[in-house]
């Protein structure tokens, strides 16, 4: 992915990755769904997949704020806090709950990104481009971890 994508291309990349993760969620075997296959991460697959849906919500918020010309303070500590809060609140999620959350939060993010003007992508030193790139790669990054965990268990 380059830094010169259009808003529509970012939205498409987010959508394609989200659909791949949603498909995996729907077909994930029970044992993997309840397992924590990512080394160093105690969260089960269902919580991590829902975390992607949750991240679409805060990424959309940050993108909207930057697009409106507001400064957004995003750092690793904030993201870690959001992730920890989500993990603590996620509970025992069903595949349908996670798939639905991926669909609804992804649709909202995709609509927001699709509606951006080209100049907005470069606001705040290209921050919207960076956030859209993160959104486009996030689902596939976790999907690769799940698939590696599934292969290791086989």
Low-confidence ranges of the chain (pLDDT < 70): 1-3, 153-154
Residue 100 within any structural domain of the chain? yes
CATH number for the domain spanning 37: value is 1.20.120.450
pLDDT digits (tens, 9 = 90+) for 93-121: 999 999 999 999 999 999 999 999 999 99
Residue 138 within any structural domain of the chain? yes
Which pLDDT value is given to residue 2?
47
Tokens 């990424």 locate to 59
Residue 147 within any structural domain of the chain? yes
Which pLDDT value is given to residue 150?
75
Which pLDDT value is given to residue 154?
61
Q: 16 by DSSP, 3-state: which? A: helix
For 1, 10, 38, 129, the CA distances from 7, given in Å and listed in that order, are 13, 5, 32, 9
Residue 106 within any structural domain of the chain? yes
Which pLDDT value is given to residue 1?
46
Residue 76 within any structural domain of the chain? yes
Which pLDDT value is given to residue 152?
73
Q: Give the chain's domain count.
A: 1
Domain of residue 16: give its range.
Answer: 7-153
Which pLDDT value is given to residue 153?
66
Residue 2 within any structural domain of the chain? no
* Contact call for residues 93 and 52 (beta carbons, < 8 A): no
What is d(CA 141, CA 134) in angstroms, rounded to the nearest whole number?
A: 10
Q: Can you give the pTM of this predicted structure?
A: 0.92
Residue 121 within any structural domain of the chain? yes
Residue 1 within any structural domain of the chain? no
Alpha-helical runs (H) found in the chain: 7-27, 30-34, 45-67, 76-90, 95-114, 123-153
């Amino acid at each position: 992915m380059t830094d010169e994508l259009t808003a529509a291309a970012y939205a498409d990349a987010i959508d394609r990755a989200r659909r791949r993760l949603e498909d995996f969620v729907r077909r994930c075997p029970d044992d993997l769904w309840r397992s924590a296959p990512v080394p160093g991460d105690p969260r089960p697959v269902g919580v991590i997949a829902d975390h992607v849906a949750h991240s679409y919500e805060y990424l959309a918020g940050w993108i909207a704020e930057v697009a409106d010309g507001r400064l957004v303070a995003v750092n690793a500590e904030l993201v870690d806090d959001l992730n920890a809060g989500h993990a603590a609140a996620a509970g025992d999620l069903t595949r349908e709950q996670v798939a639905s959350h991926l669909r609804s939060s992804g649709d909202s993010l995709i609509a927001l990104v699709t509606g951006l003007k080209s100049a907005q992508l470069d606001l705040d030193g290209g921050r919207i481009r960076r956030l859209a790139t993160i959104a486009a790669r996030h689902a596939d990054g976790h999907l690769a971890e799940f698939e590696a965990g599934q292969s290791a268990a086989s």
